[in-house]
Amino acid sequence: MLNSELSKVELPRLILASGSPRRAEIMKSVGWQFIKDVPDIDETELPGEQADIYVQRLARTKAQAVAERHAGQIVLGADTTVVVDGQIVGKPVDVDGAKRMIGLLSGRWHEVLTGVAVAKNGRCEYGLQSTRVKFAPMSRAEIDFLAENGDPLDKAGAYAVQAQAALFIEGIEGDYWNVVGLPISLVYRLVKNLANAPNAKVLA
C-alpha cells in the first residue's frame, strides 16, 4: 500500500514569465496553474557568448525581472534557441529568412537548447535541457511549404515540431517537450529544488 504522504504531489501556482503560447499549452497539459507576466528585457547575445550560457542567462533574467513584481510567488522563465555547428539560429524576421533557416536544417542534425529558471524572493534555481533533432533532406518545394505554412516567425529555427515540421523530422534524441518549447520535467525538478530551500514548503 502506498504511503499517502509519499504519493502526494503538489504543483504550486506559478507566474509564467513568457508570452509563448506553446509554453502555456504545455503547462496546461500537465495541470499546472499559472498566470502570465511577460518581461521586457534585452535579448541581445553578448560578444562571444556560447549558446548554452546565453539561454540560461536569459531565462534567469526573465524570471528575476518578473519575480521583483511578485513577492512570495514562484516565477518561471525560459528561453529556447536552435544551434547548428555551434552557431545560434534565432527566430526569422520574415518568410525569406525562414526559408534560409529551414534550408540550413535540411538533411542535418541540430540542437535545441532551453534555459529554464525559477525564482522566488531573491533565490533562483536554473538549468539547461538539450535535445538533438534531425530533418530529412528537403526539396525546395518542401522548404517553401514549411516556411509558408508553418507559422515560423515566432519560433527558434523557424519550425514547430508538433505541426507541419513533423512531416520532415527523421529523429529526435532527448526531451521532445524541449523541442516544443518547454522541458516540463526540468521545470518540475527546479521547482522542487526551490521549494526544498530553507524556509520553503516541501512539494512532495
* DSSP string computed for 56-124: HHHHHHHHHHHHTTSTT-EEEEEEEEEEETTEEE---SSHHHHHHHHHHHTTSEEEEEEEEEEEETTEE
Q: Examine residue 71 and state whether it is found in any structural domain, yes or no.
A: yes
The pLDDT assigned to 188 comes to 96
Is 85 part of the annotated catalytic residue set? no
> CATH no. for residue 142?
3.90.950.10
Give the pLDDT score at 7: 55
In a domain, 160, yes or no: yes
Q: What is the pLDDT of residue 90?
A: 84
Residue 83 in domain: yes
Q: Is residue 85 part of a domain?
A: yes
134 forms bridges with which residues in the sheet?
Answer: 109, 171
Any idea how long the chain is?
A: 204
Active-site position among 37, 40, 52, 79: 79
- Asked whether 78 and 23 are in contact (CB, 8 A), the reply is yes
What was the pLDDT predicted at 152? 86
Residue 9 lies in a domain: no
Structural domain containing residue 83:
14-195
Q: What angle do CA 43, 36, 158 make, to 5 degrees?
A: 45
Residue 134 lies in a domain: yes
Do the domain assignments include residue 49?
Answer: yes
β-strand 123-135 against 169-173: which pairing, if any? antiparallel
Kindly report the backbone phi and psi dihedral angles of residue 84, in degrees, each rounded to the nearest multiple of 5, phi listed first. -125, 120
Instruction: Note whether 195 and 12 are within 8 A (CB).
Output: yes
Number of domains into which the chain is organized: 1
**Torsions phi, psi of 190, nearest 5?**
-70, -40
d(CA 105, CA 157): 8
What φ, ψ does residue 33 adopt, rounded to 5°?
-80, 135
Task: Tell which residue, 157, 162, 188, has the closest CA to residue 176.
Answer: 162
Q: Which three cell numbers stand for residue 2?
A: 502506498
How many Cβ atoms sit within 10 Å of the Cβ of residue 50? Answer: 14
Residue 140 lies in a domain: yes
Using 70 as the pLDDT threshold, list the residues of the chain that sit under it. Answer: 1-7, 197-204
Q: What is the pLDDT of residue 198?
A: 52
**C-beta neighbour count of 144 within 10 angstroms:** 16
